[in-house]
């Protein structure tokens, strides 16, 4: 009898082991098929995400510029609504700054006679006006400009009657007399009452500031010029006196600061040259 152990029967694999192997093979095959279909863009497959390069290209591509002829701009929508009336026949007219924000120059005008009026007709077709109430026999003249008002700017009109200068707000498609603290029209003296000699506008921080000017002289050979800024509210409907300062001392009669202090102007616009003048009756 041999001492070696008698070999037993060979062990057989369990049926569950074979099933696990078959299942694993099936799952791997299915995964391969799914990946192939996905890359080919087959029906029911999730679309591949764009590559980083494609995404960057789409983002960085500039958008097409709008056609100005087919899409109104912001400034184009800001013009005053067209009115039925227009510039009166016989009125003197002059092109002035844009008062209604549509980017187009507008037209100021003056009529003559007992019922003289000052008005503005915008490029958009709107017309608004106001009566010139003054006993001065001199022909009126006017300038229009945009000045500092409150925290922004507003269009104003200065109408020079020879004795005084009337101040009007030209904001919001209307002409309204600017009021002083007492609720009366704010006016500038032209030497008639001894309160001032002219009006001007000085650029401060990029905007024109309205100011009353006074040039005084004991003998007409040397002048002292003072300037009083005018503080306006947002629509230039109300005004009050602001800071006062001496801007020239011992200046000759032909000194530009003296000449400016004896006229009505705003920025580069001077009455009689850059605005309408009342027609002769």
Per-residue pLDDT tens over the stretch 31-42: 544 444 444 443
CA distance 264 to 199: 5
Q: Are residues 176 and 225 in the same domain?
A: yes
Tell whether 109 and 222 lie within a shared domain.
Answer: yes
Domain count within the chain? 2
107 assigned to some structural domain: yes
pLDDT, one tens digit per residue, over 206-234 is 999 999 999 999 999 999 999 999 999 99
User: What's the CA dihedral at 240, 168, 192, 115 to 10 degrees?
Assistant: -150
Asked whether residue 134 falls in the same domain as residue 33, the answer is: no
In a domain, residue 115? The reply is yes
Residue 7 lies in a domain: no
**Listed residues 27, 45, 63: the one ending a domain:** 45
Q: What is the pLDDT of residue 23?
A: 52
Are 252 and 142 contained in the same domain? yes
Same domain? 40 vs 80? no
Mind listing the pLDDT tens digit for each residue in 132-163?
988 888 999 999 999 999 999 999 999 999 99
Place of tokens 């037209």: 107
Domain check: are 157 and 82 in the same one? yes
Check whether 17 has a pLDDT greater than 90: no
Residue 154, in any domain of the structure: yes
Q: What are phi and psi of 235, to 5 degrees?
A: -105, 10
Q: How many Å apart are CA 261 and CA 259, to the nearest integer?
A: 5
User: What would the two tokens of residue 61 be?
Assistant: 């591509």
In a domain, 173, yes or no: yes
Global pTM reads 0.72
pLDDT value at residue 78: 74
Q: Is the pLDDT of residue 113 over 70?
A: yes
pLDDT tens, position by position, 174-204: 999 999 999 999 999 999 888 999 999 999 9
Look at residue 14 in the predicted model and tell me its pLDDT. 46
Same domain, 26 and 83: no
Question: How confident is the prediction for the chain on average, in pLDDT?
Answer: 80
Give how far the C-alpha of residue 19 lies from the chain's centroid of Cα atoms, to the nearest Å. 80
Tell me, yes or no, whether 120 and 38 share the same domain.
no
Flag whether 226 is in a domain: yes
Torsion of CA 65, 68, 74, 75, to 10 degrees: 130
Whether residue 71 lies inside any domain: the answer is: no
How many CB atoms sit inside 10 A of residue 189's CB? 18
Radius of gyration of the chain (CA): 41
Same domain, 36 and 154: no
pLDDT computed for residue 24 by the predictor: 53
Closest CA to 201 of 236, 253, 161, 249: 236
Domain that holds residue 260: 76-270
**Are both 214 and 128 inside the same structural domain?**
yes
Quick one: pLDDT at residue 19?
52
Q: Are residues 86 and 23 in the same domain?
A: no
105: how many CB neighbours lie within 10 A of its CB? Answer: 12
Q: Are 100 and 79 in contact (CB under 8 A)?
A: yes
Give the other-Cβ count within 10 Å of 268's Cβ: 11
């Amino acid at each position: 009898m041999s001492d070696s152990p008698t070999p037993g029967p060979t062990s057989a694999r369990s049926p569950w082991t074979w099933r696990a192997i078959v299942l694993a093979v099936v799952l791997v095959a299915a995964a391969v098929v799914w990946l192939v279909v996905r890359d080919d863009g087959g029906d029911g497959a999730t679309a591949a995400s764009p590559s980083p390069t494609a995404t960057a290209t789409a983002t960085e591509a500039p958008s097409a510029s709008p056609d100005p002829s087919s899409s109104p701009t912001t400034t184009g929508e800001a013009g005053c609504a067209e009115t039925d009336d227009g510039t009166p026949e016989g009125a003197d007219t002059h092109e002035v700054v844009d008062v209604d924000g549509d980017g187009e120059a507008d037209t100021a005008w003056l009529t003559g006679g007992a019922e003289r009026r000052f008005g503005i007709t915008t490029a958009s077709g709107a017309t608004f006006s106001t009566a010139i109430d003054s006993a001065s026999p001199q022909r009126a003249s006017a300038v229009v400009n945009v000045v500092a008002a409150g925290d922004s700017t507003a269009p104003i009109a200065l109408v020079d009657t020879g004795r005084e200068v009337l101040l009007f707000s030209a904001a919001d498609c209307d002409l309204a007399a600017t009021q002083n603290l007492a609720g009366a029209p704010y006016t500038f003296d032209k030497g008639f009452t001894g309160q001032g000699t002219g009006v001007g506008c000085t650029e401060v921080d990029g905007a024109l500031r309205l100011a009353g000017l006074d040039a005084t002289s004991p003998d007409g050979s040397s002048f002292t010029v003072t300037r009083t800024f005018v503080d306006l509210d947002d629509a230039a409907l109300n005004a009050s006196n602001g800071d006062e300062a001496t801007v020239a001392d011992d200046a000759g009669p032909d000194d530009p600061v003296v000449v400016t202090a004896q006229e009505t102007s705003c920025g580069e616009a001077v009455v009689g040259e850059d605005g309408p003048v009342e027609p002769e009756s």
